[in-house]
Each structure stands twice: as C-alpha cells, then as structure tokens.
Structure 1
Amino acid sequence: MTKYIYFFLALTCVNGLVAQEFEGSVLESGTGVPLQNVSVRNLQSDEVVFTDSGGNFSLSVSEYPVDVEFSLLGYLNSTMKIESNLKQGEIYLQQDVDQLSEVIIRSSNISQAVRKTPSSVGIISENDLNRTDNFILVQNFNYVPGVFVSQGALNTNKINIRGIGARAQYSTNRIKAYINGIPLTTAEGELTLDDFDPEYLDRIEIFKGPVSSVFGAGLGGAINLFTSQNRNDQKSVVTDFNYGSFNTRKTRANLNFVNDGLDLSINYNNVQSDGYRRNGDYDRNSLLGSVGLMNKSGNYWSLFLSYTKLKAFIPSSLNEDDFRNDPEKAAFTWNQSAGYESYDKNIIGISYDHRFTENFKNQTSIFYNFRDGYEPRPFNILDENRNSIGARTKFNYKTSVFNSPSEISFGAETMFEFYETGTFENLYEEVEERRSVQGDRLSLNEQNRNYINVFAQMNTEITSKLLVEMGLNFNSTTYDLKDRFIEDGIDQSGDYSFDPIFSPRLGLSYEAFEGKNFYASASHGFSTPTVAETLTPEGQINTDLKTETGLNYEVGFKGNWFNNKLYTEVNLYSIQIRNLLVARRVGPDQFVGVNAGKADHNGIEFTSAYRTNLTSDLQLKLFLNSNFNFFEFDKFVDLGENYSGKTIPGVPEYMISPGTEISFKDLTANINFQAFGEMALDDANSGYTDAYELLNLKLNYNWKLSRRLNFQFNFGINNILDEDYAASIVTNAVGFGGSAPRYYYPGNPRNYFGGVRLKFDF
C-alpha cells in the first residue's frame, strides 16, 4: 500500500512540473495590426517561439510568475511578467522609430514600411524630439531634408516643404496637418503647430511634395502628429521644469493611466519667455488629453482634445542696418503699439476603428475646431472668430487583384468652416504710453467655406519584389462671403467656388536587392487661395484667382546596410507649379494675392542614420541629413517686371546637418550641426542673406532612484558658435515713406537651457 502512496505523490509532483500553455497575440501598438515572426522568449527556460501570420503564439510555462521577452526588428523590445492567473493575453509592441527603414507609416491610407513606400517621408521620433530644448515643436523640423522653418519668434514660425509655402508672409499655408487623424489645417489652408508640446508626441511623419491624392489641398505636403498609444499596462505621473536664456521657462505635468484596454493621457504645459528682442514677451498655456478604449471585439475608440490660451507680443522684422547693429530692438511701430497676438483655441476629435473581418476595417473621425483671436497691429486691430466641424472616414480592404496580394483604401473627408473677421482703427499714436487703443470699426466680414475630398488608393504586389501604388482624390471647395460693414458703401458679399480638382498619383517600389529598394512616383497637388489672398487692395473679392496646382516627379533609393545598422535614402524630385500664387505688397505689413506665373522646384535630398552598440553600455548613433535646392521661376511677370529664371526667395539653397548621439549607461550626449545656404530676399534677387552654421549640444542624465521613481537632468547650449544670422525673412518687403525695407528676423545668439524631470510609476 505504501508504494502506491509514494507513486501517487510522485505523480502529483510530476504533474505540477508539467508545463502549462500560455497563449497570446502580439499587436502593433499604434495600429493594432498583428505582428508576424515576433520572437517570444521564456527568460526562465530560454525557450523561444515565434508568432504566426495572425500574431498568435503558444509558450510553455512550467512555473509562474514568468518573465517573457518579445522582440522584432523595427520594434522596441518588451518584457512582460506573466502571473499565474493569466492564461492568455494581448501584448503591444511600439515601433522603434530610430530603425527608420522598418517603421510602418501610420498616416498613409495604406500602412506600409518606410523602405517600401514609393515617396519621401520624413520621420521625427520621440528620441529626435528629445535632442532639442523642447520649448517649441517646429524647431525640430529643420533637421528633416526638404523642410525649412523660418523662425521669427516663439509664435512667428513659417514652415515650407520643398520651397512650397516659402513666400507666405506670416504663417504656414499649403500644407495639410493632422494629429491622430484629426485635421489641424483650416478649410482655407492655414496652419499653426506652435501650440503642441513636443514632449507629448510619440512621432511625426512628414510627407514631402504634392500629396493631394491622400490628404486633399496640400501642395507642399502633409505633417502628421501622433500621441503615444501605450496599450500595455502603464501608470505614471511626470512633472518637469526647464529654464533657459531670455528668462524662458517651461512647466509641465503629465498623467498616463493604461489598464484593461483603457489608455488615458493628460498633459498640461506652460511656456513663458521675455524673448531675445524687445516687445517679445510670450505666454502660452496648453492642455492636451487623449483617451483610448479597446473593446472585447478588438475595436478601438479614441478621443483627443486640446485647449490653448496664448498671448505673444510681436517684435516684427528689421531693416538691414538694425539687423546687423541692434538685433535686439523691435520694429518701431510694433514696439510703440505694443503689438501682439492672442487667442483661445479648442480642438476636439472622436475616432472609431472597427474591424468587420480580418481583411476589412474602417476608421471614422468627427472633429470640431474653435479659435477666438485678437491681434493689435500698427495698421489696424484684427478681431476674428473661427468655428469648423467635419468628418473623415476611411475603409481598408485586403484582397487579391489578378492573383496579386492587394489592399484597397477609399473614403472621404469634409469640413464646414464659419469664419468672422473684423478690423478696427489702432489709435496707439494718440496716447503717451506704449499700448494699442481700439478705435472705430473698419470692416466686418463673414465667410463660410466648405470642402469635400473623396479619395481612393490601391497597393498591389505585382511580384514579391515589385509594389505598385495608385491613388486618386476629388476635391470641391466653395465659400460665400457676407459683408456686414455697410458704412463704407462697399458690398463685397457673394458666393464663390473653385473648379473641382482631380489629383492622381502613381508610385512604384522595387526591391532590387535584399533590404534595398528603388522607387519612382508621379503625383498631383493643389492649394486654394486663403482669405487674405482673395481680397484686392480695395477690399473687394478677387473672383479671378485660380487654384494653385503642381505636378511632382520623383525617383529615389532606400536601403539598409551592415546588418541593418545603417539606413540611407536619396531622392531626386521635380515639382512644376502652375497658377503660382504670389503675395504682392500693397502697404506696410499688408499684401494681396495674385496668380503670376509658373515655378520649378527641383532638388536632391539625402537621409542617413547609423546605430551600433560599441559595448554593452556604450551606444553610438550617427546621422547625416541634407538637401540641395534649385528653385526658380519658370515664367513670372508681375506689374510689368519679368522675374523668369530668378531664384525663388525665402528658401536656403542648401541644408547640411550631421549629428552624433552617444549613450553611456544613463548619460546621453547629443551634438547637432546645421549649415544653411543663402536665401534670396525678393523675387528680383536684389539681395541675399548670408549662409550660416549652428552648433547645438544637449546632455541628458537618467537617475533611477528606485523601481518606481526616476529622476532626469538635462543641460544644453544652442548656437554654441554665437553665429549672427537671419532665422527668417519677409520676402519682397517694401520700404514706405523713404524707410528701408524690413526683411530680417534675427536668430537667437548663443543661449543656454537646463531642466529636471521626475517620473513616478504607480
């Protein structure tokens, strides 16, 4: 009898040691797409299995809890502790955006890796955003080949992509932008990205050149911002404070809570500065929030909201003498009137991702934008109010076309915008103190603008190495204007519409060698005139203005080298712009738009990134980005002056930016160099800015105080060489009353910054 008892006990012990099966699936964090060939390693037994085409795996576990490591090229490694009561689960991997070639483009209608995309897409990762002082977002864009940001002040920034938008006067236009799929560009085409805290973003994708087949009215390109989607359990609070030269300070607090399919993130930040120049005070409060919820069926709800309150004074531009001898001063009239801009802005968007089947899904978003602005300028005071509401829906279907694996995407985007703008006299000259004084009303207009984009795209793998991409967009834009100011005896009310636009696209990507692709593409783009451009000098609507259009032809190479340690990309492009919209100066700081000819934007861009581990504790990253521009007017005659063959102003003729990042244990050092070529000041090329070089440094040190508490220090120097340079220019500036034209916005001299961050995981 005793031997049977011993046998039973032994059998019980053996059964206790028999491995149990843990089943799970691995998905991409940003999109929820199943990931194949993920290495799943049991760190106790060192057993390794791989996920199948549906992202599923089954792992033997003999003892709980167990640590399991998940790894896949192009994604950050993740380690998960599996408790005894967990028999199955979902694991989400975040893309390693530094591994450029393997990054999946989220914002394209059809997601695919950068290397296989037949177009040029600039990627700014979370790590890239941490290489700068992080007071303002758009300064990071100048490291992307083909992109240039003219920086007049913290609130005076103008983005151009491949030279398109360079001749806009004081704001960014001709570029579409989204955050988590929610449109940020107004219905008339204007864009402000200064409001967003760079430390709240996970990544930025910049499509360069005409992209209307995907995004609609975006002749220059499209900028897509993404916040983090941390679907693995995470609960943390982050607070930080940064201080820099010119009494610049930033205070920030962030809460992340991720649990059981719920992803909540709230971010508050305040940025204040006295500014390098007089009349340059800046104060911005921002509140950003996102909520994501994954239901049991795998469908995903998300909510995004943003609130910004800004008051920023404007020093404006300087003439050459003041720029070189007294760059800290403000333009006289802007200083005397204490000119500034202020606004309250809200953005709310709700999105829903639904999977009908494994091969058929839909994403639908509805959004609302509101902006209430007030801007005293020397020549008048602008009071404006903008409300817009819209929706975007996109369907994706995986199928087979002529026995070739294919994916089809189709959908539509529409926006209705209600814009009220009025101006008043500025009586600042009638008071002794330095301030603006609102006088009589000068104008009051209401404009309702709406557009609709209908788009479709198909990607087909003709062979395992050849990908064909085809797209088409249809756009219809209309608006009506109501003149509510009758005292001037001029009524400019009316209904207007632009001709419907069809924008096709064709792209080819061929993997000639393993990990090395050649591509070619042709695409069409357009941009409609803004409100300011539609008004004549007499205040009438110019109904003869035409939509600006362009054709982009591009060839390039994208490839990995040395076991994926080095990624290189080179492309050549040619954009032909027709019905070129130009700003004609009609008064101090005032302009109107006219169609004045044709322009050719030709250029070469180069991107490279190298990453290696020198030792287990020492990591080296190198990058070299550059572009060379050959932008000129093809046929351009304005007011009898022939500018054909002249260089397009406002764009550096080249950008070269090498950089190094060295990480040793918890210390990281970033050294970035930027060289920019000269810029033409006006259409006649009567003068040029000087070429300039910037050298920047940032150090980060992470100090892990405990398992839950992390402390970080940072210190940096911008413009180490103390270079005198023009960070922005006002193209075609004109001197009035015998004064010299004010072309120049001085860049900041050598300046310092530093900060601390505390993160607590709970």
Structure 2
Amino acid sequence: MKKYFILLLFISSVGQLFSQQVQFKVLNRLSQQPIAAVNIYKGAEWITVSNKEGQFIVNLDSISENYILKAIGYQNLSVQLSSTSGERVFYLSTLVEALSEVQIRSTNIPTGLQNISSSISVIRAAEFRRTDATNILESLNNVPGIYINQGALNTNKINIRGIGARSQYSTNRIQAYYDGIPLSTAEGELTLDDFDQEAVERVEIIKGPTSSVYGAGLGGSINLYSKTSIKAETSAKLGSQFGSYNTQKHVLQASNSTENSSIFATFSSLESDGYRENGNYDRKSALVNGAISTSDKGKLSYIANFTQLKAFIPSSLNKNDYLNNPESASFTWKQAQGFESYDRGLLGGSYTHSLSDNFTNTTSIFISFRDAYEPRPFDILKEESVSAGIRTKFNLATQLFKLPSEISFGAQYYNEWYETGTFKNLYKDFPGQGSVLGDRLSNNEQDRNYSNFFAQINLDLTEKWSLEVGANLNTTKYSLTDLFSSDQINQSGNYSFETIFSPRIGSSYEIVRGKNIYASISQGFSTPTVSETLTPDGQINTSLKPEIGTNFEVGFKGNWLDNNLYIELSVYSIQIDNLLVAQRIAEDQYIGMNAGKTNHNGIEFLTNYNFQLSKSILVKPYLNAAFNFFEFDQFINDDKDFSGNKLPGVPKYTMNVGVDLKTFNGFEFFANFRNVGELPLNDANSEFTDSYNLLNFKASYSFKIYKSFELNLYGGVNNALDEQYAASVVTNAVAFGSQAPRYYYPGNPRNYYGGLQLSYGF
C-alpha cells in the first residue's frame, strides 16, 4: 500500500511540473469594467466561467492551446493560453453597446447620450453591418429625422428635419466632420459618398441648428470617427463583394496598435455598371489615420484621405419614363455621356495636451483639395479648390457658483480658395463621342473665409438636474474675381455678412434612475452661396440675408429592463426666417432672394431592445419613426402665394422596423423594413410621389479557418419586394418646351450581393 501511495504522489508531483493554475481577467473593451459570467471553452468542451471580478483560473502547461471566451452580449474571442502566457488580461467587444452608455464626442463637452439636452443619433459598427456597404448614407437613412435622396451612388442629398430638402442635386446647410476635420465646403456643400464605412467606427448626428457648436449649420452636423484601438494588436483584413449590375467592391485593411501608438490604413475600390443607362461608377479611396502618445500629457492624432472618382450621371426622368422605362437615362445626359470626376484629398492633425489635471487643449490643423471635371449637356464645368484651417478648443473642469461644472471655449478659422470655369459642350457636333470641350464661357476665382468663436458651460445644478449654455460668434466673408472679359460683364467684388450670434440653452433632468427628460432652445444659420448672391447683370446682391432658424425641442430618454430596452421621444419646432429661393425675374433669368418663412414641426421616436433568445442567440429588434409637419408659413414666389403649403422634398413620415440576430457560433441575420410616406414635388403641392415600402435582408457567417485566421461569408437582397419607387427627386423641376418636368430618380429594383472577408489578428 505504501508503494502505491508513493507512486501516486510521484505522478502528482510530475503533473505539477508541467501544469499549473493560471489566473486571467476579462474586461469590457470600451468601459474597461470586469465582465462576469464569461464562459471559457476548449474546443467544444466547457472549462470554467469568470467571477464578478472578471477573473477565471485554468490549469495550463507550457504548450499554447486554443480557447474561446464567450459571454452574452459580447463577440466571441479566440485566444491562445499557456502557463507562460504574457497577457493576463483580455478584452471583449460588445455586440450591441447600450445607447445610454455611449459617450458623445461631437459636442464641445463630451457627455453621456442620456444626459445631453438635445437629440443626437449614433450609428455604430453593429448598424453598419446591416447594409451592403456600398454607400455609407444607407446607414444614415435608418435614423429618425433624416431622409436621404439617393439618385445614384454619386447623387445623394441629405436633409435633416426638412432642412436641405430644397437643394437640387447635392447636400447643403449641413456641417460634417471627420475626426474633427471639416468636410463641408466654405459654402456648406457636402459630399459624404467618398468615405467608405469600412474605415468608420461610428457616426454621431446632431439634429437641428448646431451653430452654437459648429457655426453655419442650419440643418445640423454629421460627425464621422475613424477606427481606434485600446489594446496592443496587429491585424489585417481582405474583403471582396460582388452584386447585381456588375457591382464589385474590394477592401484591404491593416492596423497596428501598441501601448503608445496606433495606425490604421484602408484602401477600397468600388465599381458598378449601375441599374440605369449611363450609370457606370468607379471610385478608389485610401485612408490612413492613427495616434501617437508624445508624453503622459500629450497625444497627437492624424488623418490622411485621398479619393479618385469617375461616375456617369443618368440624371432625372419625367413621370412617364419613370413608370415605363426606369432603367433609361435622360436623353440629353445620355447623348452627352455626362459624368463627374475628381481627385480629392484631406490631411489633418490634432494635438491634445493636458495643461493640468482638469484643464486640456485640443488644436487641429487641416488642409484639403479638390480638382473636378464635370461634362453636362448645357456646359462643361471645371473646378479647383484648396482649403485650410485651424481649430482650437479648451476644456476646464471646475466649480462655478459652488456647483460642479465644465467650461469649453475656443475658435476656428477656415479659408477656401476656389476657381471655377465653364466651357461649351460640343457633343451635338460630334455624335456618339460624348462630351467635347469647346470655348470658355466663364472663369471666376473666389476667396471664402469664416471665423467662429464659441463657448459652452455645463452646470450640475443637482445630482439629477444639469444645465447647458452655449453660444457662437460667426463672421463670413468672400471675394469674387471675374477673369473672363469676353462677355463684357464684370462680377468682381467683395462681400461680407453681418456678424451672427447664435445662442443655445438646454437642460436635462433625471426623473428616476435611467430616465431623463430634456428641453432646449437653439439657433442656427446658413449664409447664401456666391451663385445665389449674383444678379443676371453680374452684380452682387448685397441685400441678401442669411437664413436664420430657431429650434424648440423637448424630449425623453429612458432605459428599462437592466438597460436592455432603450426609448427616445422628441418633439420639436423649427422656425426658419429669410428663406432663400430662386426668384424668376425674366425668361430663364433668376435671382436669389429672401422670400419666406417655414415651420418645421415634427415628432421622432426610437426604441431598441436586446434580449437573449437562448444561451447562444442574441436578438435585437428595433423601431424608429419620424412624423413631419413641415409647411411654408409665409412664402410668395413669382407672384404666387404658397403660404400654408407643405414643404417639397420631404416625406410625410418615415418608419424603420427591423431585427438583428447573432449567435455564438458566428451566424448573423439582419432584416429591415422601411415605409416612406408620400412626398410633395413642388411648392404648389400639385404633384406628389407615392408612398413605398422597402424590405432588405442580409445574413453572414464567421468562423476560424486556421489559428488566427477568420473567414466571414455573407449575402443579402435589397428591395426584396421589388417595389418601384422614387429614390430621389428634383423639387420644383422645370419643363423645357413640350417635355414634362423631370422630377424622378428611380430606385433600384430587387438586387442581390454576396462577399467574403478574411481577417488575421496577431
């Protein structure tokens, strides 16, 4: 018996030489908080579970073996563990981050979404995965209060709460930033199509006048943020997608993060023949961003983006062609083979420095350029622009009136040099050859600049009651130099607008834990563009005034069921004075003028719910809706009184209903149903689009193929009901000769896509 006991003791001792208990810890990647109830698997075998401190212990030897960490609401993580493992802490990424836990970065003072006294929507990586990823704007279309006119991959208009709806072919009166670097031109024109969602981590959208933060932004602001990492890792991803209309997308990504630095690089190529004639599209884009910790108190971040685009334009159709021949292009655009092409670049850097424990400064400098060529049936447009600017912001945490408070103040200066010229298009003289450059028709240089000075104070009046007060001071100037003398018209001149003061005040109150009510009043403005200020005789109309909008809003934000159910409700009223319109003064001659007032009254609702259907299935249903009551208060144009009519270009309502489903074994499923109400096409409300329904599906499956290699296969269908609908419209389209007005851009019929992504992490 004694011999057996000695033998057993020897075997046990030998096992201890080669195996030992090792303790690990699991943290939430964003919050850095411990995660309890993380299940640890070795292959298909369950091993143990983490405690409330996020800790777990595993018997390991010196040979690395593969383990999988699984937790409800988090993405699975494959790791290699051994008794000599250097890493003792692991980070899990949430499948769906609770909205109430999101820290908003786009305000002057970062604040939790639930405590902000305004309506801000957040689009995260989980929402991006719902779409085919060919256009980042499709994800924005799922936000209440936002409506995207998508005429083609390169023909998009964004309107927020009805502002921007009267724009003909592009987005204006909305500010946009990428990591704090301005994307809108000095006149407020905006193109977000250049940015691939593969390079974006999240989007924050402030709805309604935001001039107290960003200056001229009557409709709001859209803030894009690049991908970042909080742990040391190196990864690469290669993806290809194929779809209807010979659509192909290829993406290559690489990143490296250390304790003190990070760099992310993305290259994407998107090509498509398009559903319609003359609809070919080709875009190449590259983006590099990163950050370097220069010291314990300083951090430098940087971004560089370059886009090359050539996209043909099918243009809009009249009602007969829209209904009976929607795949056709407009006759003249087809004959001219009209397109737009440009090279566009953006370079910026920001340095954040802690001047003390409670006082920080962030200063950003940026420069961008655009070189564009656009043949159109009526002329050929050439554009060149270079923009540069600087923005600095100070944040101080202190006591004010013996109350906890935060103060933010700073300034921004932006200058844009812009040269434009038009030429005759001789496509009629060269049948079948498309556009041919002819004699010059115009040549102008513009120098545009503006300055913003801003400040904001956040006060905690009590533990549950907070107050926000902010203001912005803006000056806008431009000069115009007419370099074309053949027409005997000299449009040269200088122009400046009066200094505009834009205040904001808001308050949030937590009525019970996790449930807040808020109210705010804010003001915004948009200045006229250069083309709107020019008269037919070449003079500058100095009597034009900026559009001014005042926003009144009340709302509710609340959590239920342990933060799994989130609801937002907002009711707002925006009154816009000095509405800018194109006033006809003679045949084919127009002049910009302040001609009216509009009322933008609306209700927005959002809810999402996360629940565990089983031990391995997470389900997220969601519903959002916007009900719009937008109308002209006072509006007389060309001796016609449109007062009381509905604002054209905005649907009566929008509603999105959907469900996201994810399993622990890597399967995901997304379904979205969108209902869009009828939409007025002109100021007289004599024509309307029909309401329509869209149903989209997508499924994907991710799995390990070898150690650190992961493969994701996916596929989907857009417009599964094969609905015929107007994806975009031209408001107040004009009939030429005997032709009917061309209001409509047809939406794509049912179409399919599929792809794969190969990822490698080490």
Give the TM-score, by structure 2 length. Answer: 0.90
Deviation at 1:146, TM superposition (A): 0.2
197 and 18 in structure 1: CA distance in 2 versus 1, 3 angstrom threshold: closer
The residue that corresponds to 2:747 in the other structure is: 747
User: What is residue 183 of structure 1 aligned with on the other side?
Assistant: 182
Helix, strand or coil: the match of 1:309?
strand
Match of 1:758 in 2: 758
Partner residue, 1:343: 342
Q: Corresponding residue for 1:252?
A: 251
Structure 2 equivalent of residue 557 of structure 1: 556
Separation (CA, whole Å) in 1 of partners of 2:513 and 2:303: 40
Indicate the percent of aligned positions where both proteins have the same amino acid.
Answer: 50
Contact 1:110 1:407 in 2 (8 A): yes
CA distance change for structure 1 residues 596 and 74 in 2, over 3 Å: closer, same or farther? farther
Counterpart of 2:235 in structure 1 is: 236
CA contact 1:190–1:530 (8 Å) conserved in 2: no
Deviation, structure 1 residue 193: 0.2
* 1:87-123 deviations in Å (ceiling 9; x for gaps): 9999988787641111010111111111111111111
**Residue aligning to 2:142:** 143
Q: Contact (CA 8 Å) 1:677, 1:690: kept in 2 or not? A: yes
* Counterpart contact for 1:21–1:87, Cα < 8 Å: no
Q: Which residue of 1 aligns with 2:732?
A: 732
Answer yes or no: is the 8 Å Cα contact 2:666–2:702 preserved in 1.
yes
Instruction: Point out the more displaced range, 73-82 or 266-275.
Output: 73-82
Cα distance between partner residues in 2 of 1:697 and 1:640: 49
Map of 2:669 onto structure 1:
669
Within 2, Cα distance between the matches of 1:436 and 1:389?
Answer: 33
Amino acid at match of 1:746: P
Distance 1:90 1:525, change over 3 A: farther
Alignment match, 2:9: none
**CA offset digits 1:259-311 (Å, max 9, x no partner):** 23221111111111111110111000001111211234152211101000000
CA distance in 2, matches of 1:240, 1:154: 20
* 2:440 corresponding residue in structure 1: 441
Alignment of structure 1 residues 60-209 onto 2, 5 Å: 98-209=97-208
1:136–1:154: 8 Å Cα contact kept in structure 2? yes
1:572 aligns with 2:571: yes
Aligned-pair distance for 1:746? 0.5
Query: Which residue of 2 is the match for residue 359 of structure 1?
Result: 358
Structure 1 614/739 Cα, relative in aligned 2: closer, same or farther at 3 Å? same
1:42-77 residue CA offsets vs partner (Å, 9 max, x unmatched): 999966559xxxxxxx99999999999999999989
**Paired residues for 1:380-395 under 5 Å:** 380-395=379-394
SS in 2 for 1:213: helix
Separation in 2, partners of 1:203, 1:728: 26
Q: Residue by residue, what CA displacement relative to the aligned partner does 1:570-624 show, whole Å, maximum 9, x if unpaired?
A: 0000000001112457999997532211000000000001011122211111000
Distance 1:301 1:177, change over 3 A: same
Amino acid at match of 1:515: G
Spell out the pairing of 1:26-45 with structure 2 (5 A cutoff). none
Determine if contact 1:95/1:103 at 8 Å carries over to the other structure. Answer: no
Q: Indicate yes or no: 2:304 matched with 1:297.
A: no
CA 1:445–1:695: 2 relative to 1, 3 Å: same
Q: How far apart are the structure 2 equivalents of 1:147 and 1:279?
A: 29
C-alpha spacing 1:707/1:493, structure 2 compared with 1 (3 Å): same
Mapped contact 1:554–1:571 kept (Cα < 8 A): yes
Determine if contact 1:21/1:59 at 8 Å carries over to the other structure: yes
C-alpha displacement of 1:357: 2.1
| Residue of structure 1 in register with 2:469 after alignment | 470
Q: Distance in 2 between matches of 1:82 and 1:359?
A: 40
Helix, strand or coil at the partner of 1:532: helix
Matches within 5 A, 1:49-68: none
CA distance in 1, matches of 2:86, 2:196: 40
TM-score, with normalisation over the residues of structure 1?
0.90
Q: Is the 8 A contact 2:228 2:290 kept in 1?
A: no
The letter of the residue matching 2:637 is: D
The SS at the match of 1:217 is coil
**Cα distance in 2 between the residues matched to 1:728 and 1:462:** 47
Instruction: Give the residue type in structure 1 aligned to 2:510.
Output: E
Q: For 1:512 and 1:252, how far apart are their aligned partners in 2?
A: 47
> Pairwise CA RMSD of aligned residues?
3.2
| Alpha-carbon distance between aligned partners in 2 of 1:588 and 1:36, rounded to the nearest angstrom | 66
Change beyond 3 A, Cα 1:242–1:46: closer
CA distance in 2, matches of 1:532, 1:158: 19
Match of residue 529 from structure 2: 530
Q: Distance in 2 between matches of 1:313 and 1:480?
A: 32
Cα distance in 2 for residues equivalent to 1:261 and 1:81? 24
Alpha-carbon distance change, 396 to 278 in structure 1, aligned in 2, over 3 angstroms: same
Q: Contact 1:169–1:583 (CA<8 Å) still a contact in 2? A: no
Distance 2:37 2:703 in 1: 29
TM-superposed CA distance for 1:754, in Å, is: 0.6
Q: 1:268 to 1:80 in 2, by over 3 A?
A: same
Whether 1:678 and 2:678 are equivalent positions in the alignment is yes
Contact map agreement 1:482 1:494 (CA 8 A) in 2: yes
Q: For the residues of structure 2 that align with 1:666 and 1:514, how far apart are their CA atoms?
A: 35
CA contact (8 A) 1:231 1:262 kept: no
For 1:703 and 1:49, the matched residues in 2 are separated by 29
Aligned match of 1:714: 714
CA contact (8 A) 2:417 2:448 kept: yes
SS of structure 2 residue aligned to 1:177: strand
Asked whether the 8 Å contact 2:536–2:589 carries over to 1, the reply is no
Match of 1:281 in 2: 280
- Residue pair 1:618, 1:663 contacting (<8 A) in 2 also: yes
In 2, the alpha carbon distance for the partners of 1:69 and 1:666 equals 12
Counterpart Cα distance in 2 of 1:76 and 1:473: 42
Q: 1:578 to 1:341 in 2, by over 3 A?
A: same
Question: Within 2, Cα distance between the matches of 1:656 and 1:491?
Answer: 50
Aligned residues of 1:231 and 1:263 also touching (Cα < 8 A): no
**Could you say which residue in structure 2 is the equivalent of 1:697?**
697
- Give the 5 Å matches for 1:318-337: 318-337=317-336
Q: Distance in 1 between matches of 2:585 and 2:225?
A: 40
SS in 2 for 1:488: coil
What secondary structure, in the 3-state scheme, does the structure 2 residue paired with 1:727 have?
Answer: strand
SS at match of 1:190: coil
Name 1:13's counterpart in structure 2: none
Query: Is the 1:175–1:220 contact (alpha carbons within 8 Å) kept by the matching residues of 2?
Result: yes
- Is the partner of 2:334 in helix, strand or coil? helix
Structure 1 portions without partners, runs of 5+: 1-16, 30-34, 51-57
Q: Secondary structure at the match of 1:115?
A: helix
- Which segment is superposed worse, 348-357 or 372-381? 348-357
Hey, what's the Cα distance between the residues in 1 that align with 2:562 and 2:257? 35
Supply the AA of the counterpart residue of 1:259.
T
SS in 1 for 2:614: coil
Equivalent in the alignment of 2:622: 623
What secondary structure is seen at the aligned counterpart in 2 of 1:173? coil
Structure 1 letter corresponding to 2:529? T
Q: Counterparts in 2 of 1:7-46, with a 5 A limit?
A: none
Contact 2:34 2:52 in 1 (8 A): no
Conserved? CA contact 1:671–1:696, under 8 Å: yes
Letter in 1 for 2:501: F
Equivalenced residue count is 734
**How far apart, CA to CA, are the structure 2 residues paired with 1:72 and 1:669?**
19
Q: Could you list the per-position Cα deviations for residues 207-245 of structure 1 after superposition, in whole angstroms to 9, with x for gaps in the alignment?
A: 000011011110000000011111311211111111111
Please tell me whether the aligned partners of residues 344 and 371 of structure 1 are also in contact (alpha carbons under 8 angstroms): yes
**CA separation in 2, counterparts of 1:697 and 1:267?**
26
CA contact (8 A) 2:584 2:638 kept: no
**1:88, 1:309 → 2: CA distance?**
42
Query: Contact (CA 8 Å) 2:238, 2:251: kept in 1 or not?
Result: yes
Instruction: Please tell me whether the aligned partners of residues 171 and 190 of structure 1 are also in contact (alpha carbons under 8 angstroms).
Output: yes
Structure 1 contact 455–472 (Cα < 8 Å) conserved:
yes
